[in-house]
Amino acid sequence: MRERAVSGQPDGTGRTPGATLSSVTERDSTTSDSAIEDARCGHHAPPPPCDNAPCDGTAASLGDYRAAFYAGRLPMAVLNRDGLVLAANPAFGELVGTDPDQLVAATAADLTDLGADPRVWTAYREVLCGRSDRFRCTRRLKHSEGQSVWVEVTVEPLTGEERVLLTVADISDRHDLLARLRHLQMHDPVTRLPNRALFFERLSATLETAAVEASGTGRIGLCYLDLDGFKAVNDTLGHRVGDRLLSAVAQRLTRCAESAADRGPGRGRHLVARLGGDEFALLVEDSTGTDQLAELAQSVLDALQRPFDLAGQRLSVSASIGVVERTANGTTATGLMQAADTTLFWAKEDGKARWTLFDPERNAHRMTRQALSSTLRPAVDRGEFTLEYQPLVGLDDGRAQGVEALVRWRHPQFGVLSPNRFIALAEENGAIVELGRWVLERACHQARAWQLAHPGGQPLFVSVNVAVRQVWDSDLVADVAGILAETGLPPRLLQLELTESAVMGSAGRPLQALQALSDMGVRIAIDDFGTGYSNLAYLSRLPVSVLKLDGSFVRGFRSQEHPNPADEMIVEALVALAHRLGLTVTAECVESAEQAERLRRIGCDTGQGWLYSRPVAPDRVEALLDAGRRTGG
């Protein structure tokens, strides 16, 4: 550890210590100067039993203490209750660069920087006024020799005295050590950049000051960056190369930040930090708007575009950057990071190697998605879902043969939501299993009720949509068997609609499930057929009996004036092939009589669409049945 030359020698100034003290005594004649009296007694002995102990060689006299005060290497000063110096030792004089005699009557707070910080000042005054026993603080002082020193200032009353003792201990070494430790703790060893902890500390401090300080722009900006495909570098070339790459990236980022700060308005320091893994952040204090951040983000992308030459390897990387810029007031560190994280996700989602700006509208949409997703399951329990039914009509006789059950969410806040808003979310978070089971149960009950209400006629079958995850994550076969048994619905009156991809990808368990359902007598339909890459020959080997042609084919028919023969030919060929393979064909989205007629001529079996009916509530289906199940068209 270095030696600091703060402390002085008793005779360092060439003065007679006693002279100083006498001047103190003269100044403060009201109180006896018992703390510092006769400095000329040279004995070294234990402290005296009382203040006025004689200098008899057995106990330290006051003179001893006085001598110690002057000889001490620790800078000390005795103050009166107003904080004025009564006596200062040479070490103190040396610290502040003034003859200790000259310090008498000086304001101690000025000498030791106790006045600048209001909290320090208040605590110091508490001791002077006698309301507190001790005060200690750390200050940075300018030593008389020019260098800065870190000191610990302690102020405490002298027992039984109207005075206080102020001591100033040089803690520069300790402070430097702590600073070095803190540096290690707050920096990333690989890139030497500030780490996550320091980044958050700076971010919080910046937000705090920006909110109260009127001098800056009151804004803050953040580029949150993630390298694209960094994992592949680590996995294929090893962590050493990975680390070198991170370090090289860090250097380029730092250069970008420096040149942006040089170009930019004000003294805007940009903090570059490694937040972990291959994530970096560039924090712009006092930002001027989104343009500034966009420019910075683009310069980063440009800088990273040049390949990296690392240990004989030439590597190319790209990055995705989420950019957020906003007013500091009202912004929290967590809020800002969440926005940045979302925006980074968008940048990745939009194709990587780009920067994306935070978009409140897109975020609101995401929030809604999140809100919907998290409330799906409880909504099933609360009974917020309902089913509508849309007839499936025979194209040659116009009679409803069955109905498709379509789910709706009566959301207490957002109103009635169509399945396009929530089915995918339910599939993502698994709520589809419960929701799907509810739909199946409700639809089978309903179909059975219609059957019982119209005992004479041809009963309607019900067609229920089933998501892939229901086949994988639940015992669909047991559920269907249980529900059929419970409702008494004959299996032939139940049809399950699965999408092409669900069925085509099926092997093992899903295939066995389809087979078991089919063996039970339940019909399997392929929904939205033609949107995937189904292999008809393969399909014919699966237990599938119905193809539901996607609406886009029928839409392609156009009107009589603008026919699209290609679509019509494709449908014709598909229908012929399906029939050869023993499948029946239903066309979706039949909106006009003309389309219905063409589909009928082509040989399509059933149609579904607005021409016949929109999806309707169950009592409306009842009305259709009462009317002899003859629908429009």
Chain contacts with Mg ion (rule: CB under 5 A): 465, 497, 527-528, 588
Residue 534, binding choice from Mg ion, ligand C2E, none, Cβ under 5 to 8 Å by partner class: none
Q: SS3 of 44, please?
A: coil
Tell me which of 84, 516, 581, 589 binds ligand C2E, using CB under 6 A: 589
Compare residues 86 and 406 and give the one whose CB is closer to Mg ion.
406
Sorted by sequence, the CB contacts under 8 Å of residue 531 that are 6+ apart come out as 500, 550, 552
Question: Assign residue 571 a region: left if phi > 0, alpha if psi is -120 to 50, beta otherwise?
Answer: alpha
Least distance to ligand C2E from the beta carbon of 414, Å? 15
How far CA 270 is from CA of 294, 339, 358, 549, 618, in Å, comes to: 14, 19, 19, 57, 63
Alpha-carbon dihedral sign for residues 525, 530, 533, 534: positive
Q: Which residue is nearest to ligand C2E (CB)?
A: 609
Nearest distance from C-beta of residue 464 to Mg ion, angstroms: 9
Q: Nearest-CA neighbor of 227 among 213, 205, 207, 247?
A: 247
Q: According to CB under 6 A, which residues from 504 to 543 bind ligand C2E?
A: 527-528
Q: Which is nearer to ligand C2E, 106 or 589 (CB)?
A: 589
User: Does the protein bind ligand C2E through residue 406 (CB under 6 A)?
Assistant: yes
150: Cβ contacts below 8 Å, ≥ 6 apart? 138, 139, 140, 141, 170, 171, 172, 174, 175, 176
- Residues 189-218, one symbol each (x = binds ligand C2E by CB under 6 A, - = not), give ------------------------------
d(CA 609, CA 404): 11
Shortest distance (Å) from residue 622 CB to ligand C2E: 19
What tokens appear for 557 in the block? 């028919």
The Cα 310–Cα 242 span in angstroms is: 10
CB of 591 to ligand C2E, least distance (A): 4
429 belongs to the binding site for ligand C2E (CB under 6 A): no
Q: Which is nearer to ligand C2E, 94 or 404 (CB)?
A: 404
Cα–Cα separations (whole angstroms), residue 276 to 187, 199, 257, 273, 322: 11, 11, 19, 9, 16
Minimum CB–partner distance for residue 406 and Mg ion (Å): 7
Tokens of 581: 């393979």
423 touches ligand C2E by CB under 6 A: yes
Q: Given candidates 297, 467, 480, 526, which one binds ligand C2E under the rule CB under 6 A?
A: 467
Tell whether residue 500 is a contact of ligand C2E (CB under 6 A).
no
Q: How far apart are CA 140 and CA 179, in angstroms?
A: 14
| Stretch of 234-242, 417-425, 511-519, 536-544 contacting ligand C2E, by CB under 6 A | 417-425
| 151 touching ligand C2E, by CB under 6 A | no
For ligand C2E, give the closer residue by CB, 164 or 464: 464
Work out whether 337 is an interface residue with ligand C2E (CB under 6 A).
Answer: no
User: Which residue, 121 or 610, is less far from ligand C2E as judged by CB?
Assistant: 610
- Strand spans (E) along 494-590: 494-499, 523-529, 546-549, 584-587
Residue 37 or residue 588: which is nearer to Mg ion going by CB? 588
In sequence order, which residues have a C-beta less than 8 Å from that of residue 580 and are 6 or more positions away?
none
Q: Which is nearer to ligand C2E, 402 or 551 (CB)?
A: 551
Residue 509, CA atoms < 13 Å, CB-side half-sphere: 10
Q: Which residues bind ligand C2E (CB under 6 A)?
A: 390, 406-407, 418-420, 423, 436, 439, 465-467, 497, 527-528, 551, 588-591, 608-610, 615
